[in-house]
Amino acid sequence: MAGKVFFGVTMSLDGFIAPVADVTVAEVFSPEGKDDPRVQTWLRKWGELQAWLFPQRSFRENLKLGEGGEEGLDDEVSRATMERIGANVMGKRMFDGGELAWPEEAPFHTPVYVVTHTEREPWERPGGTTFYFVNDGIESALFQAREAAGDLDVRISGGAETIQQYLNAGLVDEFSISLSPVLLGNGIRLFDHVDADRIALEQARTDASSQVTHLTYAVSKR
């Protein structure tokens, strides 16, 4: 039996999953970026939003950041998420940012299907990650990801626009939001452009730690 299609994001208490995009990816990761106040503000807000995840043992292991790390509920959620994934799907904008930021051993360890209009040969990285560039739409990318994942799940990794497309197409079975006690003030909203009249949600699970609240919803069509 095919696994589920899901996504998981961290969201601020005022509803944003990333700071406002007033800087480009190239600026964030360029040598000059470290001295740009806009980049510094973006990185500070991003760090505050994701602060619950960075110290987790599973996260550190996945990125080869060394031994140790926090254990407990948040680590269990992070580890369980990674272990269920058989393939990933992402948009071109997320890939462009990651290509600049990810280490040589990209942190997916699965096939990754990039929805894009750009033609490119598969890009194989150490550690089991190969990026495939899909030029014929979100359904094709998901079909290929399901084939690769087998009985495991497919994660729609992002960004927000790609997640919104899959939600509107009725192709998401479940999603999780890690609600962080942070106010960003502005930024990228997860549910902008989602057709709420076509989507029904059922709360499946709630888990709270001292740092964040994990909310899981089953998704169905109205």
pLDDT tens-digit series, residues 157-212 = 999 999 999 999 999 999 999 999 999 999 999 999 999 999 999 999 999 999 99
CA 14 to chain centre: 19
Could you tell me the sign of the dihedral formed by the alpha carbons of 56, 190, 199, 139, in that order? negative
Task: Tell me the pLDDT of the chain averaged across its residues.
Answer: 94
Q: What is residue 197's predicted lDDT score, i.e. its pLDDT? A: 94
Q: Does a structural domain hold residue 69?
A: no
pTM: 0.94
- CATH number assigned to the domain comprising residue 132: 3.40.430.10
Edge-to-edge order in the sheet of strand 153-158? 123-124, 130-134, 111-115, 85-91, 153-158, 5-12, 174-180, 213-221, 199-208
Separate counts of helices (H) and strands (E) for the chain: 7, 11
Q: Does a structural domain hold residue 72?
A: no
Q: Does a structural domain hold residue 32?
A: no
User: Mean of the pLDDT values across residues 142-170?
Assistant: 97
Q: Does a structural domain hold residue 179?
A: yes
Residue 89's domain comprises: 5-21+84-221
Q: Does a structural domain hold residue 76?
A: no
Percentage of the chain exceeding pLDDT 70 = 99
Q: What is residue 222's predicted lDDT score, i.e. its pLDDT? A: 87
Question: For 15-39, what is each residue's pLDDT tens digit?
Answer: 999 998 677 777 777 777 778 888 8
User: What length is written for the chain?
Assistant: 222
3-class SS of residue 153: strand
Q: Does a structural domain hold residue 30?
A: no
Q: What is residue 25's predicted lDDT score, i.e. its pLDDT? A: 73
**Beta bridge partner(s), residue 115:** 91, 134
Count of domains for the chain: 1
Could you tell me the sign of the dihedral formed by the alpha carbons of 4, 65, 179, 195, in that order? negative
Q: Does a structural domain hold residue 140?
A: yes
Q: Does a structural domain hold residue 187?
A: yes
